Structure 1
Amino acid sequence: MEVEIISSQFIKPSFPTTHPKSHKLSILDQYMPPAYIPMLLFYSIDQNTQAIVDIITQKRMKQLKESLSQTLNLFYPFAGRIKDKVTIDCNDEGVHFTEAKVSCSLVEFFNQPNLSSLIYKLLPKQAVIGVSAEGYITMAQVTCFACGGIVIGTLISHMVADGAGASFFLNSWGSNSHINEFQHAFEFPNFDTPFPRNNACPQDKNAMHLCCQTLKEGRLTTRRFLFDEEAISRLRGQGSSSTVQNPTRVEVVASLLCKCAAKASKAKSGLERPTLVIHSINMRRRASPNFPNSCMGNFVWLAMALMSANDELPELVTKLRETVTSIDHDFVKRFQDEGGFVNFCESLKQVMETTSRVAMGTGVNYLRFTSWCNFGLYDVDFGWGKPIWVSCFADSVDDLVILMDTPSRKGIEAWIYLNEDKMALLQQDNELLMFATMDPNPLRLKDYVSHA
């Protein structure tokens, strides 16, 4: 599939604002990896006359640009540039916006056998790892398909937003596209972080490495595994115990993947090693009261659980629940108080010491989880309906699992990034395939079709 770039421009705020000229990063922002958060939203069209398709496509493109410009009046750092490791220059230079087109239809695209490997072509500049040389905070690419379908691919710097914040921005952009509903539907973003901003915050390379997980030079493979509502119901039954009687869908899917990945690693290396699960936690939901998703910046912490190679599903679920719930409102509060910077450094040191300790001896397998479930990405509506599919991309990041909602919000689509050899073993795991469908066509399975 060839993507033709039609034009590129900068979308700037629609009017001059009196916002601060610079945005200081919090201590949590500074420890995020120097990378972009990639999100892709797929929208269909119900017209089949080419003339009508062209008119609708032009109207949608104009609407996207105008509403983005208006949205940037409030999300002013998103239109700025990265100045250094602690500062965003809020210069209103704008979002790098690309228009592109492909000659195939969305149906033809979804029929591709290597769908996961084609996703990157729908992202702007195809840059995901690292930051652009130009220091862009936000990049967007709108790709028009021959059928009139549209894919909106965005890259947002992890320095100014986490996954929840990036999702809030997309929903705000969509709400702003409904001109008549803007005053009622739009919640203003808040860039006043509750965490300390410290110009002298030391840049710990080991901590950065852990946040970004391992960037591999070898061959990596991406696979999507769909767990539908029925499969998750069965997993919940198998994973429940007297300790965790009603596990969440994220808990049971993550636990099963941990178990199966450990088996693949053992088959590859011949060594029976424990697995250190590193789970990204959205601390907005752990604070009391909760911070809303409108709070911009990074609210992410890494919870860790050491899983034995012989743990069964109930034990895995229990350990995961224990480590996640340890990030409670008292934990979050420690980063906000006067001693927030000192407490943050101490907690970070504990994270690094834990990883070093468990890696002694025969070593340890690492598996990093991040969940985008319940972020509301399937609610992003620009005025022509909700997306039929939402996807991500994280090429070059090894031992990573991104858990995504399905359109029904009842299933989970797990995007898994593994070494080629381990993936070859994982995708043949009978226990995994009892619950999951590998690399499904988004338009063919009932979890998608009934909500498209």
Structure 2
Amino acid sequence: MSWLLTMMLALFYSSPLIAITTPTRLPQLEKSLGKILTRLYPLAGRYVEETHSVDCKDQGVEFIHAKVNIKLQDFLVSEENVKFIDEFIPSKIGVTRQQSDPLLATQVTTFICGGVAIGVNATHKIVDASTLCTFVSEWAVTNREENEIEFKGPGFNSSILFPGRGLSSMPCPVWECNIKDESKGTTNSTNQWSKVQLVSAIIWKTFMGIDLAKHNLQRDSKLVQAVNLRGKMASLIPKTSCGNLFGLCTTECTTTLERTEELADRLSDSVKKTVTNYSKGRHDCEEGQVMVLDSIISMTNISRGGPILVPPGSPDPQYLKKK
């Protein structure tokens, strides 16, 4: 079983920031998208489930144009409109689980004021958050430049950095729920939490409460976080390297229902420890590759125990694909 997780992003631009008119803007965005796909060509291919590989025959990506009969500023001014953000992102891809499914979908939505929303949706089978950011950045640069520019990044090189080891994809549970909670009170913590760690702690605490209510006891639980390997290992992995280039770190929680701040501290400390360990390994040697591989394989054993929360990630990173 493979995950259907995707990486999604929506960007909003007011009309003064758009130097070209709407009739010209759409063809230019579509043309520049085609150019960037020649450099990041796996995004225009199709995923082959049997071999866990990408068939690159320039099948293309989705490019959708939508219109809304409101002004951008009217949409952004209301906090209640947050629930409509997904409308500016192309529908979930890969749901039909067919080889014909695109790996990338884009949507350009125009407002009556001239503002624009650009939504991107890419399968997590071949890209992580860093790869998505590289794609969006390169698309933006290409769209702004009148002359041809050269993409100087290494592109999709994850299979070279972490060669395949003949392992199949691994199933892992993904839990979803609507969370409405706040981190309250004071804390003596000296950690600097990231927004992701704080939100993860809130979600984790909520699931612990649900588990307690359901089973009438507080079971041990673990949360798995993805750690971007770019710039983290002793050997250089360029920032613009594309693919799924991450390791996993696991944070445990005992049966005591802890405060959100305490959970956030644990997540922060776990990531720091993991990064320190990765900084001692090289991706171009057996020891470093096994270190990353073991962190992902260990998730299989974890899922056999009690509750587990997993980060948005992929069971099919390039270094786990079948030969």
Q: Aligning the two structures, in what range does the TM-score lie when normalised by the shorter sequence? A: 0.7 to 0.9
| Alignment check: 8 A CA contact 1:190 1:294 kept | yes
Confirm or deny that 1:282 pairs with 2:266: no
RMSD: 3.7
1:247 aligns with 192
- Offset, 1:103: 1.5
2:48 aligns with 83
Instruction: State the distance in 2 between where 1:175 and 1:166 align.
Output: 14
What amino acid is aligned across from residue 43 of structure 1 in structure 2? Y
Confirm or deny that 1:33 pairs with 2:3: yes
Instruction: State the distance in 2 between where 1:66 and 1:295 align.
Output: 24
Confirm or deny that 1:238 pairs with 2:187: yes
| Alignment check: 8 A CA contact 1:195 1:340 kept | no
- Once the two structures are superposed, the pairs formed by residues 174-185 of structure 1 within 5 Å of their partners are 174-179=140-145, 183=149
2:26 aligns with 61
Confirm or deny that 1:73 pairs with 2:35: no
Of residues 287, 296, 305, the one that matches 2:242 is 296
Gaps of 5+ in 1: 1-30, 48-52, 372-452
Q: TM-score, normalised by structure 2?
A: 0.77
What amino acid is aligned across from residue 320 of structure 1 in structure 2? L
Q: State the number of aligned residues.
A: 306
**What's the CA shift string for 1:37-82, capped at 9, x where partnerless?**
11111111149xxxxx9x7112221221121122122111112222
- Once the two structures are superposed, the pairs formed by residues 117-156 of structure 1 within 5 Å of their partners are 117-124=83-90, 126-128=91-93, 130=95, 133=98, 134-156=100-122
| Alignment check: 8 A CA contact 1:196 1:340 kept | no
Classify 1:187/1:248 alpha carbon distance in 2 versus 1 (closer, same or farther; 3 Å).
farther
Of residues 50, 56, 59, the one that matches 1:93 is 59
SS of the residue corresponding to residue 230 of structure 2 reads helix
Classify 1:279/1:340 alpha carbon distance in 2 versus 1 (closer, same or farther; 3 Å).
closer
Instruction: State the distance in 1 between where 2:5 and 2:239 align.
Output: 21
**What's the CA shift string for 1:296-320, capped at 9, x where partnerless?**
1101233221224343456434422
| Alignment check: 8 A CA contact 2:235 2:284 kept | no
SS of the residue corresponding to residue 197 of structure 1 reads coil
| Alignment check: 8 A CA contact 2:223 2:251 kept | yes
| Alignment check: 8 A CA contact 1:239 1:317 kept | no
| Alignment check: 8 A CA contact 2:156 2:243 kept | yes
Instruction: State the distance in 2 between where 1:35 and 1:317 align.
Output: 24
Of residues 6, 14, 20, the one that matches 1:44 is 14
- Offset, 1:114: 5.0
Instruction: State the distance in 2 between where 1:288 and 1:342 align.
Output: 14
- Offset, 1:165: 0.5
Instruction: State the distance in 2 between where 1:319 and 1:160 align.
Output: 29
Q: TM-score, normalised by structure 1?
A: 0.57
- Offset, 1:129: 6.0
- Offset, 1:32: 7.0
Classify 1:303/1:106 alpha carbon distance in 2 versus 1 (closer, same or farther; 3 Å).
same
Deviates more, 1:251-260 or 1:69-78: 251-260
2:304 aligns with 356
Which structure shows the higher strand fraction? 1
Instruction: State the distance in 2 between where 1:132 and 1:103 align.
Output: 34
2:316 aligns with none
- Offset, 1:97: 0.9
2:126 aligns with 160
Gaps of 5+ in 2: 314-323
- Offset, 1:175: 1.0
| Alignment check: 8 A CA contact 1:81 1:90 kept | yes
- Offset, 1:105: 2.0
1:410 aligns with none
Confirm or deny that 1:321 pairs with 2:268: yes
SS of the residue corresponding to residue 26 of structure 2 reads helix
| Alignment check: 8 A CA contact 2:247 2:292 kept | no
